[in-house]
Each structure stands twice: as C-alpha cells, then as structure tokens.
C-alpha cells in the first residue's frame, strides 16, 4: 500500500515537561517520528511546551511552536497552520489526552483534521476501564475481577467471586482516603464498612488484587493491512505491585515456555485488533499468576510508551519511526528493516542477548536530614538485594547484566552519600562485588 | 562440570563445558534463533541427525514439562549447544530441569562456548558436520572422526523416527490454543515421517478424526481406510533419501486431497517431478516473515528446514502460494488442478507463532470443496 497523498501536513504533539511518567523517552520517540515523516515528504508542525528537548531543535520539524500544551492553544495553531492530520501517539499520555479533548470539542472536525495512528474510538476503548473490560471479555480474555459495592451485603456477594487479596477504593474520596488491601474477611469488613462511610456517594470499588503476580509487557505493531508483529517481550524482575518504572525489567521474557509466550502473543494480537488501533505501536501489560498460570490483562497503551523506548533500544527496531510511517499508510512489508537494510520491517526481532533496565533513584537530591533514613532503607535494600543475589546465584547467573547493573548503581548511589555512610556501605558492596566476580 | 569440545568438519574447534549426558555425538551442526521453545525443538524428530545450537544465550529457564513434547521417547536431536544452561528453572508447569532431561534421554550437551561466533561461522561457511565430545578431548582425533563420517545425506532418518504401529490421535492443543475446536467430521490419515505432535493436535482442533500410519505404509492400505484427506508430515534429513515416500505420494496425489508440511512438502515436490536443493544454513527459528500470496498478509512463522523445493522445476504444475520475505525462497505451493497443497514452514507452531494455524482450516475447506464437487 503506498503512502497517503491526501495528507500533506501533519501536526505532532510533544509530551511537555519531564515529570514522572513523562520522561525523555517521549522526546526520543517524537524526534524519530518527526524525522520519519519528513523523510516521507510530509510537512511537520510540532507543538511542545518544553524547549529543553531535541525535538524542538530548529531543524527537526518544519514549524515548531513552544506554547502551553492546552486544547485552546493547539486549536489556534491548527487554525493558523491548517494541518491535514494529527498524530497523537508520540507524546505520551499528555498528547493522547489533548487529542481526545480536541476531537470531542469538535475542533478537529471544524478544521478537517484527521486523527491518524489511533482513532478516537480506539483511544476511548483502551482508556475507559469499563469499555476495556467489556472488550477483553468479548475476545475471551481475563481482567482483574471487580465490582462497585453500595452496601455490606453486596460487599459480601462481591468478595465471594473476587477472592482475596482484594483492593478496596472508596469512590470520590480525596487522595485515596480509605483505600487498602484486604487479605482476609476481617480486614475486608473493616475496610468496606469504613470506606462506605467515607465515600460521599457510599460506594466502594472492590477489585481483585494481582499483587505478587508476574508482570509482562509486549510491544505490538500493526499496519493498515492488519499485519501484526510483536517487537519485544519484557518481564519485570519485580512482581505486580512495584510500578514498572521502579522495577528492574528484562527483555525478552525469561520464564515463559513457548506455549505460554505464544498465548500472550495471540492475546496481544487479538487486543490490538479488538481495540482498533489501526496503525502503529501499542504496549500491552499482563499479570500472570505464578502458581497456576492464570493470565490477566492489566492495561493497554494505544500509543508509543516508555517501554517502547526500552524495546527499541533492546532490539534495534525503531518503534516510533516505523509507527510514524505506518500512520501515513505504509505497510510493515514496505518499510526496510533498519538493521539488515535488506529484509522488511515485518519481522519479529530474535535477539541473542539479554537487556536489563535498572531504575536509578536520584538519591543525591535528598537533603542531608533524610540521609539517615536513606541509609537505613539502602542497607535494608542492599541486604534484600543480597538475598536476591544469592538466590540469583542459585538460579545460576540469572543474568550477569542484572547483577552488574545493580552493583554499578549501588556503587554510584554510595558515592553520593556521606563519607561515613560510604564506609558503612563498603562491606556489603564488597560482598556484592565478590559475588559478581565469582560469576 | 567437565571440559567438552566441539570440532567442526572444517577444523574449527570450540571448547566449553559438558552438560547433560557424558559421551560423544557426530551430527550436522545447525543453529536455531528461537528465544523460547527448547523443549519442543529437542523433541522434534526433524532434528534427528542434527546437533542444535541455540542463539539465545540462556536456555533452561522454565524447565521441562510433560505437556510440551513434540514426540514420544524423549529428545530426538543428537546434541545440544547453548551459551549457558539454567539449572534451576522457574515456571509453574516445570517438572524437571533441562539438564536432568538431557541425562535421562542420554544426550550430550555443550555450554560455555561463544554461540554467536559459532552461528556466524555456520552462516558464513554453511552448515556442516561436527562432533561434540566429553570423553575424547583431542581435537585432531575428533576431527578425524568427523571426516570419516559419511554425512547425513547418506542416512534415512525417517525409518528411525516413524511410528511402528498405526494409532489414533485424540488430544487437542494445550489449553490456550487459538483455534476453536470443531467437531471431528472428516477422517484424515497422517503419514508419519517424524511427525510433530502439534500437527496432530491442530488437526484435532480443526475438526479431524486423526489416524497416524508408519512412513512405509502401502498406499492401498491407506486408501482402504477410506480417509477424506491425507497429510504428509514433517521429518528429518534429505527428502531424496525417502524414495518410498515419494512413490506413495505419486500414487496418492489426485485420489485424496493432500496436505504436505515441511518434509511432506518436499516429498510432494519430488513426487511431481521437481527438484530440491539444500540451503546454506537452513531456516530454524520462530520469526520468519512469510507472505501469503493469495491474501497479501504477512505471517510470522515457525521454521525448521535445510532443504527447499525449486519452484521453477515445477512450472505449469503448481502455483507458488507462500514466499519467505527474508531470502525470497518458496514457502508453499498449490497444485494447479489437483487438490494438493503444501507449506514449507510450520503452521502448527510448537515452537513459534500461531499466525499460520489457519492452514489446517484451509485444508479442511479444500476437502469439503473436493467432495462437494464430486457429489
């Protein structure tokens, strides 16, 4: 399928300031997308409120607006630039939310701007919990069980099929007041009773907890012809309950048999089709019960995500670049593979190495007052890690890359701490290093 | 663990550690790029006569379970080479470690060598014979042993791996298979040239009543069973050595709708009077893009073959239906008149993606059309 000629000018929304959940990964994907679209001969208009990015460099887009990321401002830019299309999937959640706002306010229709990559209905289906749950049910996939409960009696019925542990969230309480995890009936009744009183609408959302389950992510790409490929699988070292951003993550998945991996792959393909992301990349998260292999779909991002950046770097497959080209109608088969240059992009990277991502916590930003606390946490962490490392050793060098990354980071952390703390840290670090050297 | 050597027939030596059983194995050294599925690979009879090298660096992570085997009677590959073996698996279905399984099947393994260097060597210089040994650690004497070996083209491995008795197969796919199971309404006879169980499981899922027969079964006997269709299975070795299978295929073509998979596909090619040729380093992995020329769709497929049918040698007789997008080699064909089609890749997956699983449905539809026309 040749690229589209009915669109000439494309508006791209950046992700704005670097905050938790919206880090420099989106600058990386946005820049790639700009370059890819220009390479195909399209005019690119970019808006981003953050000038400290590569994508806002003068030679990246054809027109760059450094303005606040609000629907009003973007509408003004649309009015002035009159783009034919809006690509909302490169600037993280910020860009996606803005695209939804612009579509719903009628601004896109008014100026005849087409959403490319992900359409409004697909974004809504992926983002709305209820719609998503329904969609998953339709294709025979499980999501964590949940129920909205208005009284104690209903609560008892609900817990019967949800089971323990369960997460309770009173509706419309400020800052999550009254939320908690119940591991048994006693805790459950107490939390529920309290939650119902706290909630202004006397409603508590009870959800099955998948805390402690294995956590996986798959990066999926789809083109106009409905060809779907999986770029990368990622397994979290830390189980569900630890945010992916705070977890050590490893690519590819380490502890799934082929049958189990294919089941997850088939599910991902079914999900991207059911949600209806026409072209481009999506990120799908799964939780897997380590005791019996029950698989639950956690969420789907119908856009380039932070994990896409990891997946890109891990496999050499430029997800954002390819996603941008798919959005303008090219198919995977027509795009050359960046690494081999001879074969098409319609393939699944088979890597012969393991990639590990370790979060780096910026302890240097803490004040000295907090350092005593950090020392405590760090030593505890280190001891836990030590335990972990010995067990990693038992699993026979789970991955040398994991160990090296952990040790390197801990050494780096230590340098930022007080000298005295450093001395305290030295012994455990030596042990760590000794373990690594033995392996 | 003890020292072990791999010596290739061109004299290249790799030194590593032995794992699994002690001993020696001479076979053709091939590499597989799948990141998962070592259990299916090891028990795939198509690997008879071959030593398999995994390009993924850590193998054994999820152990071994009874459900994922592809043939009865343990490991079929002659030897196994990995960068690093994981002795302590983590998976809820795991029943044994890879090392224990290798020992039980009496298979020699080699770990701790630079598998990337070995893979590159095989890519550049082609697949070749090699020897792994934990007993004899003298490279020169090992090289001599490899050189004395007459090569795998001289062997008919099919005879070794085919079933001895006719049997019925009833099990479907592992619980989470993509295909919905239809009621068994059509009878199919499967020629076992080294069949992967997943082909049988998928035939059951697609609504077939499955009977498996030994490779040398007379065509009369098969026709007496009055099946609705015939499947020629995958299997090991050079297709030209299995002359009896080529003869059977010749007799059956046109009489019953026929599906060929992998070796079965090559046998059909030869039965039609075509030629087969050997690939430099074969296709072994789970990520090959194959284009279905009738629908235009690209499927990611499971592959395991060293030989290919030369489609030009069958001009006028068959139509090319599938093409590999990596190297342009042919991956499937359909006879222009007869109800015969075949694929070179593995629609049954195990290991690998299920993208091509619809081939079994296509086979069923072909049979239904064939009999609808007849009536």
> For the segment B178-196, what is each residue's pLDDT rounded down to a tens digit?
445 667 789 999 999 999 9
State residue A413's pLDDT score: 44
Greater confidence (B47 vs A15) lies with B47
Structural domain of residue B41, as residue ranges?
Answer: 3-154
Residues 6+ apart with CB under 8 A from A408: none
Chain A hits for B59, Cβ within 8 Å: none
Task: Please check whether residues B73 and B195 belong to one and the same domain.
Answer: no
Q: What is the CATH number of the domain that holds B305?
A: 3.40.50.880
Residue bearing tokens 């998260």: A285
Q: Per-residue pLDDT for A431 more than 70?
A: no
Q: Which residue of B33, B116, B174 is in closest CB contact with A350?
A: B33
| B194 and B310 both lie in a single domain | yes
pTM for the whole thing? Answer: 0.88
Q: Which of B58, B87, B296 to mutate to test the interface with A (most CBs of A within 10 A)?
A: B58
Between A18 and B199, the higher pLDDT residue: B199
Is A343 close to B61, i.e. CB distance below 8 A? Answer: no
What per-residue confidence (pLDDT) applies to A131? 92
Out of A254, A293, A350, the one facing B61 most closely (by C-beta) is A254
Whether residue A118 contacts residue A89, with contact meaning beta carbons closer than 8 Å, is answered with yes
Calpha distance B118→B55 (Å, rounded): 9
Q: β-pairing, B79-82 with B108-111?
A: parallel
What are the two backbone dihedrals, phi and then psi, of residue A285, each rounded to the nearest 5 degrees? -110, 140
For residue A104, the tally of other CB atoms under 10 A from its CB is: 12
| Position A173 pLDDT exceeds 80 | no
pLDDT of A130 above 70: yes
The interface residues of chain B toward chain A in range 156-215, judged by CB-CB distance below 8 A, are 174, 176, 178
User: In degrees rounded to 5, what are phi and psi of residue A18?
Assistant: -80, 110
Contact between chains at A352 and B61 (C-beta distance less than 8 A): no
pLDDT of res. A372: 52
CB contact under 8 A, A256 and B58: no
As a 3-state breakdown, chain B gives helix, strand, coil percent values, each rounded to 5, of 25, 35, 40
**If you ran DSSP here, which 8-state letter would residue B63 be given?**
-
Query: In B290-320, which positions are buried (b, 16+ CB within 10 angstroms) versus exposed (e)?
Result: bbbeeeebbbbbbbbbbbbbebebbeebbee
- B259 - beta bridge partners? B231, B341
Last residue of a domain, one of B137, B154, B171: B154
Interchain CB distance below 8 Å, A266 and B178: yes
In this predicted model, what pLDDT tens digit does every residue of B124-169 receive, in sequence order? 999 999 999 999 999 999 999 999 998 888 889 999 999 999 999 9
Taking the C-alpha atoms of residue A351 and residue A399, their distance in angstroms, rounded to an integer, is 15
Q: With contacts defined as CB-CB under 8 Å, which chain A residues touch B289? A: 333, 343-344, 346-347
Contact assignment for A333 to B174 by CB distance below 8 Å: no
Q: Count of CB contacts below 8 A, A vs B?
A: 124
Distances (CA, A) of B349 to A251, B11, B37, B144, B177: 22, 35, 10, 38, 11
Same-domain pairing of B200 and B88: no
- Determine the pLDDT at residue A361: 64
Find residues 255-274 of chain A whose CB sits inside 8 Å of chain B. Answer: 255-263, 265-266
With beta carbons less than 8 A apart as the criterion, state whether A170 and A204 touch. Answer: yes
Q: Can you read off the two tokens belonging to residue A318?
A: 């430029």
Residue listed under structure tokens 């070995």:
B118
Q: Hey, which residues 334-353 in chain B have their CB within 8 Å of chain A?
A: 349-353
Residue A130: Cβ within 10 Å count: 8
Residue partners of B131: CB distance under 8 A and separation at least 6: B5, B6, B7, B24, B25, B26, B142, B145, B146
CA dist., res. A395 & res. A416, Å (int): 32
Mark whether B125 and B167 lie in a shared domain.
no
Candidates B312, B311, B334, B309; CA nearest to B321 is B334
Contact between B91 and A255 using a beta-carbon 8 Å cutoff: yes
Query: In terms of domains, do B168 and B94 share one?
Result: no
Question: What is residue A107's predicted lDDT score, i.e. its pLDDT?
Answer: 95
* pLDDT interval class at A390 (50, 70, 90): very low
Strand order in the sheet with A355-357: A295-301, A280-288, A214-222, A228-236, A249-251, A355-357
The residue ranking higher by pLDDT, B374 or A388, is B374
**Residue that finishes a domain, picked among B126, B154, B182:** B154
Report the chain B residue with the minimal C-alpha distance to residue A262.
B353
Whether residues B35 and A290 touch (CB distance < 8 A) is answered with no
B297 touches chain A (CB under 8 A): yes
- Give the pLDDT band (50/70/90) at residue A397: very low
Domain boundary among B134, B154, B174: B154
d(CA B138, CA B136): 6
Cα within 13 Å of Cα(B47), Cβ side: 31
B119 plus B45 within the same structural domain: yes
Contact of B309 with B331, CB cutoff 8 Å: no
* Alpha-carbon distances of B174 from A8, A271, A288, B199, rounded to whole Å: 49, 21, 17, 12
Nearest alpha carbon to residue B157 among B63, B69, B234 = B234
**Interface contact flag, A332 B298, Cβ < 8 Å:** yes
Closest chain A residue to B286 measured between Cα atoms?
A350
Same domain, B172 and B115: no
Is residue A92 over pLDDT 90?
Answer: no
- On whether both B243 and B362 belong to a single domain, the answer is yes
Residues B264, B234: contact at Cβ < 8 Å?
yes
The answer to whether residue A312 scores a pLDDT higher than 80 is yes
Q: How many Å apart are CA A415 and CA A409, to the nearest integer?
A: 10
pLDDT score of B176: 56
Element holding A215 (H helix, E strand): strand A214-222
Q: pLDDT of A247-261, one tens digit each?
A: 888 889 999 999 999
Question: Phi/psi of residue A126, each to 5°?
Answer: -80, -30
Same domain, B237 and B204: yes
- Please check whether residue A114 is in contact with residue A84, taking contact to mean a CB–CB distance below 8 angstroms: yes
Find chain B residues with C-beta within 8 A of A229's C-beta.
300
As a whole number of angstroms, the distance between CA B283 and CA B252 comes to 29
Q: What does the pLDDT average to over A387-393?
A: 33
Nearest to B56 among A343, A352, A399 (CB): A352
Same domain, yes or no, for B139 and B171? no
Dihedral sign from CA coordinates of A365, A369, A373, A378: positive
- Residue B326 CA to residue B349 CA, distance in Å, equals 18
Name B288's bridge partners: B301
Q: Does A362 have pLDDT greater than 90?
A: no
| Same-domain pairing of B105 and B174 | no
Contacts of B337 (CB under 8 A, 6+ apart): none
Residues of B annotated catalytic, as ranges: 262, 346, 348
How many distinct structural domains can be found in chain B? 2
* pLDDT value of residue A427: 55
CB of A346 less than 8 A from some CB of B: yes
Token readout for B166 is 């006719």
Burial-class residue A387 by CB neighbours within 10 Å (0-12, 13-18, 19+).
exposed
A259:B88 CB<8 A: no
CATH number at residue B127: 3.50.30.20
Q: End-to-end distance of chain B based on CA atoms, in angstroms?
A: 67
Residue A15 has pLDDT above 70, yes or no: yes
Show residues of chain A in contact with B285, CB under 8 Å.
Answer: 350
- List the single best residue of A221, A257, A263 to mutate versus B (max B Cβ within 10 A): A257
Whether residue A380 has pLDDT greater than 50: no
Please check whether residues B89 and B179 belong to one and the same domain: no
Residues of chain B falling short of pLDDT 70: 1, 175-182
What's residue A367's pLDDT?
Answer: 54
Count of CB atoms situated within 10 Å of the CB of A189: 15
Residues of B in contact with A258 (CB under 8 A): 34, 36-37, 39-40, 68, 286, 349-352
The CA–CA distances, whole Å, from B244 to B46, B155, B193, B373 equal 18, 14, 11, 31
Dist CA B181 CA B188 (whole Å): 16
Q: Is B210 helix (H, G, I), strand (E, B) or coil?
A: strand
């Amino acid at each position: 399928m040749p690229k589209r000629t009915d669109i000439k000018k494309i508006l791209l929304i950046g992700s704005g300031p670097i905050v938790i959940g919206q880090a420099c990964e989106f600058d990386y994907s946005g820049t790639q997308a700009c370059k890819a679209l220009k390479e195909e001969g399209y005019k690119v208009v970019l808006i981003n409120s953050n000038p400290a990015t590569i994508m806002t460099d003068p030679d990246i887009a054809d027109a760059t607006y450094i303005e606040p990321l609000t629907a009003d401002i973007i509408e003004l830019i649309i009015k002035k630039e009159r783009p034919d299309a809006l690509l909302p999937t490169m600037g993280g959640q910020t860009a996606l939310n803005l695209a939804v706002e612009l579509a719903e306010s009628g601004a896109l229709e008014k100026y005849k701007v087409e959403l490319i990559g992900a359409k409004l209905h697909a974004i809504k289906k992926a983002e709305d919990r209820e719609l998503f749950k329904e969609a998953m049910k339709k294709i025979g996939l499980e999501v964590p069980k949940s129920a909205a409960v208005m009284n104690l009696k209903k609560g008892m019925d609900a817990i019967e099929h949800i089971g323990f542990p369960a997460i309770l969230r009173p509706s419309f309480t400020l800052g999550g007041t009254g939320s908690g995890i119940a591991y048994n009936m006693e805790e459950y009744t107490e939390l529920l009773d309290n939650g119902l009183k706290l909630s202004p609408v006397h409603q508590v959302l009870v959800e099955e907890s998948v805390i402690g389950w294995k956590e996986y992510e798959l990066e999926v790409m789809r083109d106009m012809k409905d060809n779907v490929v999986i770029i990368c699988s990622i397994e979290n070292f830390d189980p569900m309950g630890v945010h992916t951003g705070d977890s050590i993550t490893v690519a590819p998945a380490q502890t799934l048999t082929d049958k189990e991996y294919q089941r997850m792959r088939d599910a991902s393909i079914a999900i991207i089709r059911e949600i209806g992301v026409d072209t481009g990349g999506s990120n799908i998260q799964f939780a897997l019960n380590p005791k019996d292999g029950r698989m639950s779909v956690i969420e789907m991002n119908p856009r380039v995500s932070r994990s896409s950046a990891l997946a890109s770097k891990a496999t050499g497959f430029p997800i954002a670049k390819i996603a941008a080209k798919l959005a303008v109608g090219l198919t995977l088969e027509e795009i050359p593979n960046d690494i081999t240059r001879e074969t098409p992009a319609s393939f699944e990277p088979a890597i012969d190495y393991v990639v590990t991502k370790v979060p780096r916590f910026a302890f240097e930003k803490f004040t000295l007052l907090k350092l005593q606390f950090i020392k405590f946490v760090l030593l505890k962490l280190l001891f836990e890690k030590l335990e972990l490392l010995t067990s990693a050793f038992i699993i026979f060098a789970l991955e040398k890359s994991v160990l090296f990354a952990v040790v390197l980071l801990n050494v780096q952390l230590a340098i930022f701490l007080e000298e005295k703390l450093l001395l305290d840290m030295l012994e455990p670090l030596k042990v760590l290093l000794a373990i690594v050297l033995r392996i | 663990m003890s020292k072990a050597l791999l010596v290739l027939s061109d004299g290249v030596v790799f030194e590593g550690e032995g794992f699994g059983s002690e001993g020696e194995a001479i076979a053709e050294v091939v590499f597989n790029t799948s990141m998962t599925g070592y259990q299916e690979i090891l028990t795939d009879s198509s690997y008879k006569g071959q030593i398999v090298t995994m390009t993924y660096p850590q193998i054994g992570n999820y152990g071994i379970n009874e459900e994922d085997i592809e043939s009865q009677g343990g490991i079929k590959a002659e030897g196994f080479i990995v960068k690093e073996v994981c002795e302590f698996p983590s998976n809820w279905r795991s029943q044994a470690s890879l090392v224990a399984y290798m020992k039980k099947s009496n298979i020699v393994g080699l770990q701790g060598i630079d598998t990337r260097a070995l893979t590159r060597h095989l890519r550049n210089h082609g697949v070749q014979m090699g020897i792994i040994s934990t007993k004899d650690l003298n490279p020169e004497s090992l090289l001599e042993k490899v050189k004395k070996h007459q090569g795998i083209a001289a062997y008919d491995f099919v005879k070794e791996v085919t079933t001895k008795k006719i049997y019925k197969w009833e099990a479907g796919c592992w619980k989470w298979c993509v295909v919905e199971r239809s009621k068994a309404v059509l009878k199919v006879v499967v020629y076992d040239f080294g069949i992967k169980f997943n082909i049988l499981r998928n035939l059951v899922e697609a609504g077939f009543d499955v009977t498996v027969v030994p490779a040398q079964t007379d065509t009369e006997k098969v026709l007496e069973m009055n099946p609705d269709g015939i499947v020629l299975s995958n299997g090991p070795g050079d297709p030209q050595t299995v002359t009896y299978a080529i003869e059977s295929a010749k007799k059956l073509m046109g009489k019953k709708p026929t599906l060929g998979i992998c070796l079965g596909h090559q046998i059909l090619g030869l039965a039609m009077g075509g030629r087969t040729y050997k690939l430099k380093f074969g296709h072994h992995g789970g990520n090959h893009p194959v284009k279905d020329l009738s629908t235009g769709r690209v499927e990611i497929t499971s592959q395991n073959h060293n030989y290919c049918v030369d489609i030009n040698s069958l001009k006028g007789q068959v139509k090319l239906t599938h093409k590999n997008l990596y190297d342009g080699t042919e991956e499937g064909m359909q006879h222009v008149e007869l109800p015969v089609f075949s694929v070179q890749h593995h629609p049954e997956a195990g290991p690998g993606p299920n993208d091509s699983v619809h081939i079994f449905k296509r086979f069923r539809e072909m049979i239904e059309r064939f009999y609808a026309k007849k009536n």
